Amino acid sequence: MSHQQDIKRIMHRRAFVGNALRVAGALGIGGAVAGLTVRKGEGRPWVWQIDPSKCIACGNCATHCVLDESAVKCTHSFGMCGYCDLCTGYFHPEPIALNSGAENQLCPTGAIRRTFVEDPYFEYTIDERLCIGCGKCVKGCNTFGNGSLFLQVRHDRCQHCNECSIAIACPSQAYRRVPADQPYLLKLREAKG
């Protein structure tokens, strides 16, 4: 009888030690992870964004997104735009005529709309439904114009992959994580000082 009681007591003690270790482990893991979360303050989500100052408009954004139609689209900072008649973001390097003929346009999908504002100014707006984020216009605008066209991850489309597959392919390491409450790195006229 006493032998059985001994066994019972030992088992009881083992269970107690086991439980204590488990609870300690759980608290340890929970505490460590919670500590990591609050260490930098908020534990807010991050999203991917392109730093336009590093972007070289190589065209990988159009082809490397996990979405068939890339989440990256051209964005226009109208305040920076020179409203040129001959927009090098809009027109092919050697346009036959300065009109919206497809043969004159740089954009492969005709996603840029050119509207007359006043002489000699034209306004260029991006039709996001057509834009594929190839960056051809961005390259043109950066090379000869003000650089008011730039690529951005459009967050209404982005899937927020843990590792952005465009970021892997980006040759200029222009992708970085930004806090989700400031999800854009816009080019602004004021920002350039």
Partner 1 sequence: MSRPCPLSGHRPKVGREKARVRVCRGGPRRRSGTPCLTSAAPSVHNRVRHGVLDLRIAIALLALWTLLSLPALAVERFPPPDFSNHQLPVTTVPPPQFAANPYVDVALLALALALASYLAIRRRSRRGLFLLTIASLVWFGFIRHGCICPVGSIQNVTLAIFDRAYAVPWAVAAFFALPILFTLFFGRTFCASVCPLGAVQELVALWPVKVPAWVDHSLGLLSYVYLGLGVLFSATGTAFLICRYDPFVGFFRLAASANMLIFGACFLVVGAFIGRPYCRYLCPYGALLRLVSRFSKWHVKIPPDECIRCRLCEDVCPYGAIREPTVATAVTERRRGRRRLAVLIGLAPLWIALGFWLGTRLEVPLSELHPTIRLADRIRQEQTGRVQGTIDASDAFRNTGRAPADLYRQALALSAMFRTAGGWFGAWVGLVVAAKLIHLSIRRQRNDYQPDRSGCVSCGRCFWYCPVEQAKQGWIQEVPGTGPLFGENSLPAEQAAGRKMDLSP
Which residues between 124 and 183 bind partner 1 (CB under 8 A)? 125, 142-147, 154-163, 165, 168, 171-173, 177, 180, 183
Q: What angle do CA 177, 179, 60 make, to 5 degrees?
A: 30
Q: Applying CB under 8 A, which of residues 100, 114, 123, 127 lies at the interface with partner 1?
A: 123
| Rounded least distance, CB 137 to partner 1, Å | 14
| Rounded least distance, CB 174 to partner 1, Å | 8
By C-beta, is 2 or 89 nearer to partner 1? 89
| Binders of partner 1 in range 13-72 (CB under 8 A) | 18-19, 21-22, 25-26, 29-30, 33-34, 36-37, 39-47, 53-56, 58, 60, 66-68
By C-beta, is 8 or 46 nearer to partner 1? 46
Does 101 help bind partner 1 (rule: CB under 8 A)? no
Pick left, alpha or beta for residue 156 (phi over 0 → left; psi -120 to 50 → alpha; otherwise beta): alpha
- Per the structure block, which two tokens stand in for 71? 């989440």
| Rounded least distance, CB 79 to partner 1, Å | 6
Does 103 help bind partner 1 (rule: CB under 8 A)? no
| C-alpha span between 55 and 174 (Å, rounded) | 6
CA gyration radius, the chain: 28
| Rounded least distance, CB 118 to partner 1, Å | 7
What is residue 91's DSSP assignment?
Answer: B
| Rounded least distance, CB 110 to partner 1, Å | 19
Q: What single letter denotes the amino acid at residue 78?
A: F
Does 121 help bind partner 1 (rule: CB under 8 A)? yes
Contacting residues for 187 by C-beta, under 8 A, at least 6 apart? 52, 77, 80, 147, 148, 150
126-135 burial: b if 16+ Cβ within 10 Å, else e: beeeebbbbb
